[in-house]
Every structure is written in C-alpha cells, then in structure tokens.
Amino acid sequence: MRYAVLVTGPAGAGKSTFCASIMTHLHASRRTGHLVNLDPAAAPDSFEYSPSIDIKDLISVQDVMNELGYGPNGGLVYCFEYLLQNMDWLEEEIGEYEDDYLIIDCPGQIELYTHHPFLPTLVKNLQRLGMRTSAVYLLESQFMEDKYKFFSGVLSAMSAMVNLEVPWINVMSKMDLVLPNPEDPAAGGRNGLRTRRNIARE
Ligand SMILES: Nc1nc2c(ncn2[C@@H]2O[C@H](COP(=O)(O)OP(=O)(O)OP(=O)(O)O)[C@@H](O)[C@H]2O)c(=O)[nH]1
C-alpha cells in the first residue's frame, strides 16, 4: 500500500519544516518516506531532506520568467497548469515507489487550495494510482491572538478541506511564538500555556 500526505497551508506557515519533521519521524520508526516538492519556486536550500521527486525537474518559475517573460505569480500559475498537462511525468516518477509514504510539500499560494483545479486534480490522480491520500493544513498559531486573523485562517482551512475532499488534519504551527495572555492570571507558562498548579502534598 502506498500513502501520500499533502502538506498544505499559506505561505510561510511552516510546511517545509513540518515535512522535515515527518521525514525524521518516518526514518526513526523505520518506514520509508520520500519528500516530494511541488513548489516550482522553492529555493534549493529550503529542504532539510533532498526531494526524491521535484517539480523543478519538470519546470521552474525561474525558467518560465526567463523564457516567457511572466511575472512571479503568472509564472507559478503557468507551472501548475503545465504540470496538470503533464501528469504522466508525475505518474512515472511516483511509479517507482511501493509501500512508501510520499510527503508532498505543496506551494503556499492560497488560491491553489480554494479555487484552482490543480490540487483536486492531483488528488484524483494520486487516488487513481491507488495511493491512500490525506492532507495536513498548517495554520500559524499566532493567528489565535487576533480573532479576525483566526477566523479568516479557519475559514481558509475549511474551504481547502471542502475543495480537496480527503481525510484532513488541521495543525497549528509555531506554538513556541504564541505570547501569554496578560489578562489571564494563570498565564505565564511557556508558549502561552496555563501554568500547571502544583497539587502535590508537601
Ligand atoms: N519559531 C518557529 N519558527 C518556525 C516553526 N516552523 C517553521 N518556522 C520558521 O518559519 C519560517 C517558514 O517556515 P517554512 O517551513 O519554510 O514554511 P513554508 O510554509 O514551507 O514556507 P513557503 O514554502 O514559503 O510557503 C522559517 O524561517 C522556519 O524556520 C516553528 O515551529 N517555530
């Protein structure tokens, strides 16, 4: 059985960091995991584990910008449409792996999750190849310090979940950056967590 985990979320939410942690966990538990990079604009030094499959071997934003004169956003959309037209490339690359976990580092453009056909088409192709596919959506936990940001983040996560229709886990990233709530007398513990009362008998 083959498994795919789409690691999704807005730009800078911590997707690549999360992918590296999952890869370390898979290696530690003696399972075979492969990193797949689907971000055509990713810098080569942004990966702790080098990707086994990399969209940049097919097409990169830099090539599109240089050769077709597109800007960075138009270049990205062009790359995804190019991949959609060349799904056989991805199938060939994936074909080599059996009984493995593919950890798919997705790009951070939020419109890809809400109204572009790229990810839903990718999911259908993975399922057609017999891969059990699920998704993780990362949201920066600092968003919960501001109700408007939090509401907007939660709605974008729900919109992406409804769009992709696969088993889904929302993950709040960067918990170490959450500030304690100054109005909460019990706050003051690390990461905004409530301090634990010492209930041990003297
Ligand atoms: N403090 C803190 N920083 C983190 C954590 N996770 C990621 N970061 C930092 O956040 C920044 C962005 O992390 P990435 O993993 O590159 O995020 P990404 O979602 O892959 O970014 P894009 O690919 O550009 O969309 C980096 O500087 C990371 O070091 C975390 O748990 N805590």
pLDDT digits (tens, 9 = 90+) for 87-140: 899 889 887 677 789 999 999 888 888 878 889 999 998 998 889 999 999 999
CATH of the domain at 9: 3.40.50.300
- Among protein residues, the one with the nearest Cα to ligand 1's atom 2 is 174
Is residue 64 a part of any domain in this protein?
A: yes
Question: Per-residue pLDDT for 25 more than 80?
Answer: yes
Number of domains in the chain: 1
Is residue 107 a part of any domain in this protein?
A: yes
Atom of ligand 1 nearest to the CA of 39: 23
- Among protein residues, the one with the nearest Cα to ligand 1's atom 1 is 174
Is residue 198 a part of any domain in this protein?
A: no
Is residue 28 a part of any domain in this protein?
A: yes
Is residue 199 a part of any domain in this protein?
A: no
Is residue 63 a part of any domain in this protein?
A: yes
Rounded to two decimals, the pTM is 0.87
Is residue 161 a part of any domain in this protein?
A: yes
Residue 4 — pLDDT band, cuts 50, 70, 90? very high
Pocket of ligand 1 (CB under 6 A): 9, 11-17, 39, 46, 108, 173-174, 176-177
- Among protein residues, the one with the nearest Cα to ligand 1's atom 31 is 174
pLDDT digits (tens, 9 = 90+) for 71-90: 988 898 899 999 989 989 98
Structural domain that includes position 78: 2-192
CA–centroid distance, 13 to ligand 1, in Å, is 6
Is residue 202 a part of any domain in this protein?
A: no
* Residue 131, beta-bridge partner list: 2
